[in-house]
Structure 1
Amino acid sequence: MTSAAFAQDAAPVAQAQRPESSDQGDASAQSPSADIVVTARFRSETVQQTPISITALSGDALTQRGVQGVEGIARSAPNVTLEKNTAGYGKSVIAYIRGVGQSDFLPAFEPGVGIYIDDVYQGTLFGSLFDFADVAQVEVLRGPQGTLFGKNNEGGAIRVSTRKARGDNSGYIEAGLGSYNRMTMKGAFDFSIVPDKMFLRIAGGFNKVDGYMDTIDFACANPTLAGAIPRQVPQNAEGNCKTGTLGGQQTYVLRGNLRILPTDDLEININGDLLEDTGEPAAEKLIDVNTEGTSPLALYQNGSPLGPNPTGYGIPFDKRFITADKYSSYVNFTDTRNNLAFPRVSNVRSWGVSGKVDWSINPDLKLTSISAYRAYKGEYVENWAGAPIHINTNYFKPTHWQFSQELRLSGKVSDIAEWTVGGYYYDAKTELNDYIYIPLVNFAFYGVDPVKDRDKSAFAHVVLHPIEKLAIEGGLRYSDVTKTYTFNRYVPNSGNPPATLPGFENNPSVRSGTKRVDYRLSAQYTISRDVMAFAVFSTGFKGPGVNPRPSSAAELLPFGEEDLKSYEIGLKTELFDRRVRANIGAYRSDYKNLQLTVTRTLPSGVPGSITANAGSARIQGLEGEFTIEPVDGLNINASVGYLDFKYLDLGDAANQVGGPCATCTTPFVPKWSIGAGAQYQFDLGGHGTLTPRIDYSYKSKTYNDVSNFEPGAIPGYGLWNGRISYVSQDKGWEVALQIYNAADKHYFVNKFQGYNALGTLLGQPGLPRTYLLSLKHNFQ
């Protein structure tokens, strides 16, 4: 379909009735000459027409590239980091765009990158690490967002759109088998309830895979080094010291879309989803141990002030607990000294329902309403020692609910202007329900820690066309956000009601908030039919919060919002009869009031370690995305991102132990990110098609903490993935073989830098080479 045809599609109902890209067809290459349609400005337009730095991937493109969940998107989008978080943060995601984001899952912080499913904002990083189910398209918007939709997003937004019902009795069922006893099953069916008026699409799936890291009984494998550590494996186990695995997962998902067309001018979409994601703790292992100086583990050595047997097992805590094998760990989740057992779990159960109403009041005026409710319950454990001797073990059972309401009214004035005004309301409550256990100092507490968030916002956006080929945009957003954190610190086994830690007797609350205006200005000029240039200036912020881990009541303090000003220029081109598509851009961001850990003299007159606003930074970079079709059937895609982060001022964060340095870069963000892929569709002459594909992704060295601790860094690495698929002539059957990490590269997804604070350095190795063989049947 041509760009002109999409430009004529003005009414939301007309857009809904237009056939969508279907997963019922083959997963053949998407030609670069085919228009990629996005709705980032809430009207249908191609990526090439949109003056926003945006990566758009259809559901078929995601399948072709082997992208199964949120974290896979970063392989195809420049300057984007989306990774699994450490085991201690449960099923949460590390999310950064252009060097701005968030990794700490605690609701004391706001996400720096917004993740949306069917235009519904996901309120916390925990629960945002999910597999895709029946996805129609993913859009990655880079740079501040908020003058057009949803919540304010400082770094950018990830928009996931699922498939709408069409009522055509189409569907599919797919089953797969793979490495580590992986079994998958998914499917969808689309049918009409009332012809031409009401349609329903039901989709669901199941995914089960064993863990890829073995847990080993230390006393069984090393009887001469174990001291008094008890065996977990019986003596008659015939040399098998394995006690279980880490990284296993079992997921069930169910999703439905009820689409109602009462009139030609009104469309209602009701979406519901249910997720049951149960599994083992993340595949994490001990990498290094610090027993020197002020490290807490210095107390677990011979000659410690704690006595001749500080660990209680007659041996010190040292590097004996580091396994030689890349995919094994001596961790266990039972502290036999205190007979305290933690469940080996990492779970989340979530559900949500949303209603979207699109009403075309007249050809030039449209109203959209999105009402949504979401909730989850989680459960996970983390042994920060990664060893059979516990030094700090945390157990969380977080809960969360959120309600959001968005209203948008958009219209146009002849061919002169297009405008949107809207409002957004968000109300949420999160509870941590945590148990913190530090046997090293004989300390433990549990708490509920309810956190309430509220956001009341209004936005306006206008696009003016003063002369032919030139468009000027302006946008404003007013935000009124508050966060209230109530601290509970109860002492275990201390009676009913339980005793509290000193200073927390009355469950003190801390409130943070801000009211502010952000804006966006841009200009777009169509140089020719195939070349468009744009420039953007925009502002954004990451909301204020509350010092999340106070060690005393004196540290119960709020911190303010971060500020970002972004400048960007870009060029979007289609060349050589649309066989080459090249989009390039450059940007600079002025980043102020960073939320960093600092040591300050508190109101009580004593020094304390808190999160506060300190310092400023400059971020600048380049981006390029390219698609080439040199001959029919051969598609090549590539993306490249370069990012340079520099602190300009550290303020109170300067010279802090474990804090940033003047030459440090921001964590989790590589300087270079590169992705490339190629596929060719062979026509088998009336017997279907065969499509091999290969993908490569690379990211340069990244650090995992603000101090850029070198042993905790992840060296640059590249990964190869491959896929080959056969689709029958009638497109009714597809067989595919997907290979991940084809070169069997050993690398770490992340590391947790507790070397100084805890005495341990932990790392989560990525999956070794794996495969998935799948068979799919499409109902035509």
Structure 2
Amino acid sequence: MHAETMLHSADGCSLSPCKTRLTSLMGSSLLVLAIGTLLAGPAYAAEAGDAPPAAPDTKAASIEEIIVTAQFHSQKLQDTPIAITALTGASLEARSASSLASISDSAPSVVLRPASAAFGDSVVASIRGLGQGDFDPAMEPGVGIYIDDVYFPRLTGANLDLMDVDRVEVLRGPQGTLTGKNSEGGAIKFFSKAPSGDTDGYVSATYGSRHRINLSASADFKLAEGLFGRVSGAYADQDGYVNVYDYGCMNPSSGVPSTTGGTNCLKYKEGDVGYKAVRGILRYNPNERLDVTISGDYTKDQHHNAAQVLLYANNTNPNVQTSNGLPYDSRFICGPFCNYDTTGQSASTFVAGLIPALNGIPFQATSGSELSIYSSWGVSGKVLYNLTDAIKLTSITAYRSFENTFSVDNDLSPANVGFGANDVTDWSFSQELRLNAKINSITNLTVGGFVSDEKANYYALQDIRYVAAGPLPVEPLQFIQNDPIRTKSQAVYGNLDLQPTSALSINAGLRYTHDSKSYTFYRLELDGVTPNPFLPFNGLGDTFAKSRVDYRVAVNYRFSPEAMVYASVATGYKAGGVDPRPFNAAQVVGFGPENVTSYELGAKTDLLDRKLRLNLDVFYLDFKNAQLTLLSCPQFGGPGPCALPQNAGNAHSKGVEAEVLLRPVAGLQIDGSLSYQDWKWTCVNPQVVGLGAGACSSDPSVIDLISKMPPGMEQWKWNVGAQYEADLGKAGTLTPRFDISYQGSQIGNVLAAAAGSPSALYGQEGAYTLANARITWHDKAKGLSIALAVTNVFDKYYYTSKFDLTGAGAGAISGSPGRPREWAVTVKKSF
């Protein structure tokens, strides 16, 4: 069947109706834009020397301005020709957003979710279907994450606590010239509140469901004339919501040995929280010419594994049985909020299948920790120096380091299917130097350079006993890996801003980047010394090096103070590398960069006397050499484990996004967003789908073998929220708020799941709708507030991620259930 007729959205529409919907949405967008332009009034003066427009009405019901720095200088959000969602610290607090992943509810086409337990303390991040979900330091993220203009190179630890945040900017679409590599989907920029010497600050305390305790505080102070400091800290602790039971204790007749004893079979709970962080910022601003900021931060996150439950279990390989011979099957499925997770596997001997000479080789007992521990620290320095009134020099220097240790029982049972203990360490240094020059009244130029050097080490103990060809065992696979990865990047860039008239602006940027990466494989026996005989590439390595030029051109025209339209063309890419997880010599293969060219039309409007803000955009992506990770790849060396990144093919994608903010009367706010995206593979690499080497094929029978959209993409996504600040006179104000968000369905594995297969039945990530509510009281002086928040109001059961290992031969599918309904009371004192 042709690929078009097979494509379905989250709510079951086929591609043709979805195309009709998209066309209708695009038409509606253009109609609204035209109406908005007419409502906006007469056009701007056409010449640069004409008088500026009248200032907008600033009465209480109007929408305040948000200043962003997406183009290296301060601009109003509505003047920036980029699709941006900008959220202030106050608006995030009103939405009960506590971590970076929370902002995805409010941003169209953005997916930010905590990763499954198999990937440690990391996130899945994508924008417009382009991103990454693999924590391995050999893999590059497709969404650039920045903390106070410092690049955060990894997805591990990226689910940042929104501690003392000033604002978050989500830039949608490729940012290859403005932010550099690995921002093909877009970029997320986190900005802390900067010291000002105003001696402001706050203290906040929260208590809630499952003994939740959150404490946070911040203080701004003046040390001397022109010297300011700011210190902030956060503490979070909460019990988990998925019970981990001892299987032998719960099922004494099974014969599985119990490790708990007595009748208390509960070992611990997953999905708990244990977080501590502190940040200090020192700012020296003696005059208008010099501004120096030095910041440092430390984070410690210690908790049990992410919440997970077993959804499917079926493996007849005799090597994966429990220590007393029970097969791995559905008996180990515990329920919606429980599992039988273990922290190791028992000793046994290999039962041979295809190779009888291997019969009797011992499996050593392996073990790890039930805790996932992430610790990180970083320092950075930012110097802004005005050489003249027209020329400004900016230097940003940063160093970051982290370590994440965690263990994963892939089968969530006392069976011996697969177990891994992981330790990832990483340090990175970066330096950026930027020169901004106002050449004349209509021309601004930015030129700069960027270098980064990162060294990571991925240590792991892997105990994989399910390697088989069909029902027949192939080999025993226990090994230690200790792989160093070195990643370097150098770039130079330029960005030109022209404003030939007060209504017309032109922005053009160019960036040259050279990336290099080296990876060395160490595969040893569990003694940590002897090379593993089944993985014959110990000590071998590979190097990836590639140069790239990206560009961006944007034109925007302001019809009036109320309406601006823009058009842009931009490119971006994600660097390539080598497969970091080969399980045989044939899997030691590289993969090239993926790249995208984006065409975008947008409109930003402030209508109805600045009571209505409506921002719209439509985009078209030309995507090439998609990097997709195969979890089943017998075409690369035979049966068994697989986690092989390959360039899978090319695609075209188009979408529409809308954001609205309405303040019809003082105190009332209604906000929302909507996105729809259509994806179509134009060709697929035949080898990726098991058809042998060959050119990228547009044959529908080949394209149908791959999932209809990439991981991390949602066809439909929307949210709507409303709040009203009621004036209680001397008693202060009372503000209730209600939010509803819809997250579209996502695919499971890269390859299309056969109808009726376990992957099709249990491995796909379904759509879900969540509701949050909050009511906040402020005293009249706005110095004291008390808030009651309820998240997941209707107690919806849903999955944030799934991990399907059936294609690799493990016979297991697990899911990460989202947090159930929770309540919390927060008391905050500002000063």
Query: What TM-score does the superposition give when structure 2 sets the normalisation length?
Result: 0.85
The answer on 1:678 being equivalent to 2:718 is no
Quote how far apart the aligned CAs of 1:702 are: 1.4
Q: How many angstroms does 1:455 deviate by?
A: 0.4
Q: Distance in 2 between matches of 1:191 and 1:437?
A: 53
In structure 1, what is the Cα distance between the partners aligned to 2:775 and 2:644? Answer: 52
- For 1:449, the equivalent position in structure 2 comes to 483
Aligned CA distance change for structure 1 residues 610 and 776 (closer, same or farther; 3 Å): closer
Q: CA deviation at 1:529?
A: 1.4
Counterpart contact for 2:535–2:583, Cα < 8 Å: no
Could you tell me which of 605, 609, 623 is aligned with 1:577? Answer: 609
Q: Indicate whether 1:732 and 2:783 are aligned.
A: yes
Once the two structures are superposed, what CA deviation does each residue of 1:48-93 show, in whole Å capped at 9, x if it has no partner? 1100000000000110011111111110000000000010100111
Alpha-carbon offset, residue 464 of structure 1: 1.5
Does 2:216 align with 1:204?
no
Instruction: Decide which of 498, 510, 521 is 2:553's aligned counterpart.
Output: 521
Instruction: Return the offset for 1:600.
Output: 9.4
Residue of 807, 811, 814 corresponding to 1:756:
807
Who is 1:230 aligned against? 257
Is the contact made by 1:148 and 1:420 (CA closer than 8 Å) also made in structure 2? no
CA displacement, residues 209-240 of structure 1 (integer Å, 9 cap, x when unaligned): 1111101122222223x2x31012323x2xx4
Q: Is the 8 A contact 1:615 1:653 kept in 2?
A: no
Task: Tell me the number of residue pairs that the alignment of Structure 1 and Structure 2 aligns.
Answer: 727
How much does 1:409 deviate? 0.5
Change (3 A) 1:597 1:130: closer
Aligned equivalent of 2:440, options 383, 404, 414: 414
Structure-to-structure mapping, 1:642-653, within 5 angstroms: 642-653=676-687
Letter in 1 for 2:380: S
Q: Does 1:322 align with 2:333?
A: yes
Q: Distance in 1 between matches of 2:95 and 2:748?
A: 27
Deviations 1:318-351 (A, max 9, x none): 100001x311112221424454332101111000
* Displacement of 1:602: 7.7
SS at structure 1 position matched to 2:689: coil
How far, CA to CA, are the matches of 1:614 and 1:699 in structure 2?
26
2: CA distance between counterparts of 1:219 and 1:156?
A: 48
Residue 722 in 1 paired to residue 748 in 2? no
TM-superposed deviation, 1:557:
2.5
Equivalent residues in 2 for 1:286-301 (5 A)? 286-290=310-314, 297-300=315-318
Q: Match of 1:722, as an amino acid?
A: A
| AA partner of residue 630 (structure 1) | P
Q: Distance in 2 between matches of 1:95 and 1:499?
A: 36
Deviates more, 1:343-352 or 1:591-600: 591-600
Taking the aligned partners of 1:654 and 1:353, their CA distance within structure 2 comes to 42
Matching residue of 2:297: 273
Tell me the distance in 2 between the aligned counterparts of 1:356 and 1:516. Answer: 27
- Map of 1:188 onto structure 2: 218
Moved more, 737-746 or 122-131: 122-131
Structure 2 residue aligned with 1:480, among 505, 509, 514?
514
> Residue deviations 1:515-574, cap 9 Å, x none?
121101111011111000000001111001111211233432222100101000001111
CA displacement at 1:107 relative to structure 2: 1.7
After TM superposition, give the deviation of residue 40 of structure 1 in Å: 0.8
Mapping of residues 211-222 of structure 1, within 5 Å: 211-222=240-251
Give the match for residue 377 of structure 1. 403
CA contact (8 A) 1:446 1:491 kept: yes
Which residue, 49, 63, 82 being the options, matches 1:33? 63
> Contact (CA 8 Å) 1:653, 1:660: kept in 2 or not?
no
- Structure 2 residue aligned with 1:687, among 717, 731, 737? 731
1:467 counterpart = 2:491: no
Post-superposition CA distance 1:448-502 (Å, at most 9, x none): 11100000001111011233411111110101001111111111127xx433446
Name the structure 1 match of 2:572: 540
**Shift in alpha-carbon separation, 1:131–1:501, aligned structure 2, 3 A:** farther
Kept in 1, the 8 Å contact 2:464–2:478? The answer is: yes
Equivalent in the alignment of 1:766 = 818
Correspondence for 2:77 = 47
Does the residue aligned with 1:437 lie in a helix, a strand or coil?
Answer: strand
Q: In structure 1, what is the Cα distance between the partners aligned to 2:431 and 2:613?
A: 38
Deviation at 1:150, TM superposition (A): 5.1
In 2, the alpha carbon distance for the partners of 1:313 and 1:512 equals 47
How far apart are the structure 1 equivalents of 2:110 and 2:66?
20
C-alpha contact 1:648 1:662 (8 A) present in aligned 2? no
Identity %: 37
Matches within 5 A, 1:114-129: 114-129=144-159
**RMSD of aligned C-alpha atoms?**
2.2
What's the CA shift string for 1:664-696, capped at 9, x where partnerless?
111221110101110000111111111110111
Contact 1:555 1:609 in 2 (8 A): no
Structure 1 residues 663, 492: closer, same or farther in 2, change over 3 A?
closer
Change in CA separation of 1:30 and 1:722 when aligned onto 2, cut-off 3 Å: farther
Q: What is the CA distance between 1:152 and its match in structure 2?
A: 4.8
What SS does the aligned partner of 1:433 have? Answer: strand
3-state secondary structure, aligned to 2:523: coil
Q: Deviation of residue 613 (structure 1)?
A: 2.1
Query: For the Cα contact (< 8 Å) 2:489–2:516, is it kept in 1?
Result: yes
Q: Which residue of 1 aligns with 2:44?
A: none
Q: Which runs of 5 or more structure 1 residues have no equivalent in the other structure?
A: 1-28, 291-296, 301-305
Which residue is 2:5 aligned to?
none
In structure 1, distance between residues paired with 2:162 and 2:62: 24
| 1:639 and 2:673 are equivalent in the alignment | yes
What TM-score does the superposition give when structure 1 sets the normalisation length? 0.90
Distance 1:429 1:663, change over 3 A: closer
CA deviation after TM superposition for structure 1 residue 439, in Å: 3.6
CA–CA separation in structure 1 for the residues paired with 2:258 and 2:823? 35
Q: CA deviation at 1:504?
A: 4.8
